[in-house]
Structure 1
Amino acid sequence: MASFLRTASRTLPATRRFSAQTPSIATIALQRRHASSAAANGSQPFFPDEPVEPIVKTQIPGPQSKAAIEKLEKVFDTRSLNMIADYGRSYGNYIADPDGNVLLDVYAQIASIPVGYNNPTLQLAATSPEMASAIINRPALGNFPQHDWADILETGILSVAPKGLDQVFTGQSGSDANELAYKAAFMWKRQQQRGGANVDFSDHEITSAMNNQSPGAPELSILSFKSAFHGRLFGSLSTTRSKPIHKLDIPAFDWPQAPFPALKYPLEDFAAENAAEEQRCLDETERLIKEWHAPPTAVVVEPIQSEGGDNHASASFFRGLRTLTKKHNILFIVDEVQTGVGATGQFWAHEHWNLESPPDMVTFSKKAQTAGYYYGNNDLRPNKPYRQFNTWMGDPARAILFRAIIQEIKRLDLVRHTAATGSYLYDGLARLAEKYPGEIMNLRGKGQGTFIAWDSGRRDEVLKKAKAVGVNIGGSGERAVRLRPMLVFQKHHADLLLERLERIFGS
């Protein structure tokens, strides 16, 4: 925060300048928060003192960034580095670097920044005594939860729980959230097979578990889908199928993968073919559920396969999956790590599906800035303590931050706003696709907020050129360009993005 105040006066010509008598962080945050309120009822910017457009002063990386990268390389692996950022000078929808470049950010830390850099509502939460206590007195929640932990959960994480899911197990990251959900699924299934929560473990189960053998370590599985991404820890990695580089050299469980529908676009031109493709995938999913040698305990699926190439399927397909899990008495886990918290024009992407019964578990992270899984069935609680346990079991500081994010989303009506902005942006991209059909192929994400993507034959070149014109944008899969703007992304930002994309396509 202090860094933000020190640098704010020299950030950008378009950014509000502060005198030497700089007000407190809280005062500045309150002023900015009040100024943003007008945007909720009109077309005013959510960040009134945000840059009016990107600023590109040097090549990216520039000399200051190169020096920072060289210094960092000595102590940290920088081979996956995208750009060096200066977060003190980043604001709203714009990310800055040490060289004075300020880019419109439609990648948003791999979809994990929800309401803008240096958001004033989050600044107020971050500087509160409650947050200070949570940071410096971080509890081991399973053993020593703070006195108001239930209140923090009920006013934050649980206030936006998916319909039918009224409990939460908090965790550290998206990968952790999925692994915890998998563990809950296995314990649930074995409890059923054993005869109920009150039936104790046999001596054989106890001794065989210590040797990683059945029945204590049962031959069960989690079914995922081709091109899926569920994380990089050992269990989650066994359900990840997006890229070989994630999995090479790592031992994995022998778990099944079903085909995910490969839809043809535009959807309205291939309705019959796409319906047949989805049915083929459902049929193969059911076959695997019935025949796989290690019976699946759960099906895990992303509403939109993000890292695997931004692959979509219809609501009918996901309703079909829910029907299969009910039919075969296995659990339905929806991985909303990337799709959750408003980006698709619903708070949770699976709300688009109109399910007759809710998922058994919904995992979350990224834009929530915390992690975990929601559930509603008490049988998903382990029958004994310490079975679903670690030192931290989440983080009250991050739960407090998510509560502030939720408050900001509600205050500015950002879910509805994102649905409208997404429609505007999609229509603009559709016009560009007509003009440059070789540049925008298989445009997808209509009706899914700003969760939009397309295929490009020169994807990596497009991403590189985007930085040169002041846009930070990301890719997924082998050739997809994916958009992951923040919930505070507005129509004037969409216009800036569309204009710069056309500049790239026309070059």
Structure 2
Amino acid sequence: MSTHLLRQFPTLKALGAVSRELRFPWSYLSTLAVTEPSSPAVKTAIPGPKSSTMKRDLNLIQNTDVVHFFVDYDRSMGNYIVDVDGNVLLDLFTQIASIPLGYNHPRIMKVLTDPVNLAAFANRPALGMYPPSEFAQILSETLLSVAPRGINQVQTMACGACSVEHALKGAFMAYRRRERGGSPPTQEEIETSLLNTPPGCPKLSVLSFKNAFHGRTMGALALSHTKWVHKLDFPSPCWPFATFPTLKYPLEEFADENNAEDARCLAEVQDKIASAKRAGQPVACVATEPMQCEGGDRYGSPNFFQGLQDICQENSIALLLDEVQTGAGASGKFWLHEHFYLRDPPNLVTFAKKMLTGGFYYTPDMRPTEGGRIFNTWTGDPSKVIMLKAVLDVIKEERLLDRTADTGIYMIEILMAAQNKYPNLLSNSRGLGSLAAVDLPDGESRDKIVGKLRSKGINVGVCGSRTMRLRSTLTLERKHIDIFADRLHAALKEM
């Protein structure tokens, strides 16, 4: 599979001409570099003195325990992030997997300087009541143009967690409509809903999975089971959760064991659904990530997800696939669940991060029948959808799905080579497209290698209890992976 070169970034002269022609006082455009840096360059410890001072100042206002370093976003470019101390890092974490094309991409900057888009950026509408005139067209040209196969309904939201929250509402409403046989709610249901009691607020549940992460709002948090810091002290409904498969790698060497693991986990799902029904808290929705990201980059097989869909359909339960981190081409296909070859579309697919806007796709049976059931003040932001149009255009024009699939294969080759050389340190190299990971023996050694990589100009993430997580842009090239490989081997030698 061939790689495709990035288009040449516009020159500073061209950017200046755009600014003058549009008469925008955006002098920061002139600070953009012509191209991204050629390699990392580390001048200070990270965080450096300026970052440390800024962190101290910010800590007077809010807790900053998880701040890594402060960023100079004017100077960050492409696949490189620049901190306020002038350190240049190859960014393989990309704002928690949320940047599709890299920093300050010229096509995004062009959207920001186009006078046609001024009103969209100046006025954030309450989309549920006062959408802009062209909103249906914008959604058709963007979100619906990349909708999962067989789905033609979409609802925008602001972030991943609220996308999950409202998608769950869709599943609950559909379940209760079916129970009512399509009849309107009774007066008793209407009145008791305001009292947080049945039958208006029914005892329904959502089945999730151990090591899942779906967000930090209350409903999404009830589906999340990764870290105590996410959940401690917060009340939560007692909803069931099952075991997500733990696959052994290399997959081709452990096919029988992994098939048995799939069967065991699917049997547990069936048992949990039956138990919830007996307890008077039937499962209305099964929610899962196509790959558990925060939980440790844990993949499920096509066999597992096909079986999961079968179970949901047999029990009239909605299947929600949370593609907040895995969508928008991150896996080399636009949606990771495309790798599963499901017979039917999932009932609900949530998105955010690289999609720039939050939201969810849904099948017609999940569509609310009354206005205001899926609603908040903004229900998204049309300016983000306008930016998404530019992203989708670049993905198509530069065949970035093909590139991402190719660089993903190369990244795994690099990780496997390092794993073979340092088998006492690395294991379970795995990934699809821009989603890659490798395990260390424990959390301490994982954090140590991440710190060493950062000091050598490579920014990576962590997940699970001992996993190093890589999340690149869709514009990553093999040359970037070669730089990562050199710094990785240097860091491993020091372990």
TM-score bracket for the superposition, by shorter chain length:
over 0.9
Which of 463, 474, 478 is residue 487 of structure 1 equivalent to?
Answer: 474
Partner of residue 464 from structure 1, selected from 412, 429, 451: 451
Describe the shift of the 1:169–1:17 C-alpha distance in structure 2 as closer, same or farther (beyond 3 A).
closer
1:39 equivalent in structure 2: none
Q: Does the Cα contact within 8 Å between 1:26 and 1:124 map onto a contact in 2?
A: no
C-alpha distance in 2 between matches for 1:225 and 1:69: 36
Corresponding residue for 1:5? none
Counterpart CA distance in 1 for 2:206 and 2:141 is 33
1:369/1:398 contact within 8 Å kept: yes
| Secondary structure at the counterpart of residue 481 of structure 1 | strand
Structure 2 residue 120 is matched with structure 1 residue 134:
yes
- Deviation of the 1:56 alpha carbon: 0.5
Q: How does 1:428-443 map to 2 (within 5 A)?
A: 428-443=414-429
Partner secondary structure for residue 452 of structure 1: strand
1:283 is aligned, of 246, 262, 267, to 267
- In the TM superposition, 1:48-87 aligns within 5 A as 49-87=35-73
Which residue identity does 1:266 align to in structure 2? P
CA distance in 1, matches of 2:231, 2:53: 33
Give the gaps of 5 or more residues in structure 2: 1-8, 23-32
Match of 2:294 among 307, 331, 338: 307
**Equivalent pair of 2:332/2:434 in contact (CA under 8 Å):** yes
Q: Distance in 2 between matches of 1:351 and 1:452?
A: 18
Deviations 1:236-286 (A, max 9, x none): 000011111101000001111010011122222221111111100000101
Q: 1:407 aligns with which of 379, 382, 393?
A: 393
Q: Indicate yes or no: 2:338 matched with 1:351.
A: yes
Deviation at 1:414, TM superposition (A): 0.5
1:376 offset after TM fit, Å? Answer: 2.7
Could you state the TM-score of these two structures normalised by the residue count of structure 1? 0.90
Equivalent in the alignment of 2:373: 387
Structure 2 counterpart of 1:120, from 93, 106, 113:
106
1:372 CA displacement: 0.5
The Cα shift of 1:25 comes to 5.0
> What is residue 312 of structure 2 aligned with on the other side?
325
Task: Show CA shifts across 1:94-149 (max 9, x none).
Answer: 00011110000000000000001000001111222243211221111111111100
Deviation at 1:48, TM superposition (A): 7.2
Q: Which runs of 5+ in 1 are unaligned?
A: 1-14, 30-46
Amino acid at match of 2:194: M
Q: Distance in 2 between matches of 1:106 and 1:229?
A: 21
Cα displacement (A) at 1:301: 0.9
**Aligned partner of residue 442 in structure 1, secondary structure:** strand
Answering whether residue 253 of structure 2 is matched by residue 269 of structure 1, we say yes
Alignment partner for residue 170 of structure 2, among 184, 207, 220? 184
Equivalent pair of 2:11/2:34 in contact (CA under 8 Å): no
Kindly provide the CA deviation profile for residues 264-313 of structure 1, in whole angstroms up to 9, marking residues without a partner as x: 22222221111111100000101111221211111111111000111112
1:205 aligned residue: 189
Q: Distance in 1 between matches of 2:309 and 2:34?
A: 44
Quote the Cα distance in structure 2 between the aligned partners of 1:165 and 1:269.
Answer: 36
One-letter amino acid matched to 1:166:
N
Code of the aligned partner of 2:356:
Q
Secondary structure of 1:410 counterpart: helix
What residue number does 2:25 align with?
none
Contact 1:125-1:401 at 8 Å conserved across structures: yes
Q: Do 1:26 and 1:123's aligned partners in 2 also have CA atoms closer than 8 Å?
A: no
Letter in 1 for 2:349: V
Report how many residues are paired: 470
> 1:416 aligns to what?
402
What percentage of residue pairs aligned between the two structures are identical?
Answer: 44
Task: Report what 2:3 is aligned to.
Answer: none
- Give yes or no for contact 1:85–1:97 (8 Å, CA) kept in 2: yes
User: Aligned ranges for residues 291-302 of structure 1 at < 5 Å?
Assistant: 291-292=275-276, 293=279, 294-302=281-289
Offset, 1:407: 0.9
Amino acid in structure 1 at the alignment position of 2:77: Y
Query: Matched residues in 1 for 2:300 and 2:367: separation?
Result: 31
1:477 to 464, 468, 472: 464
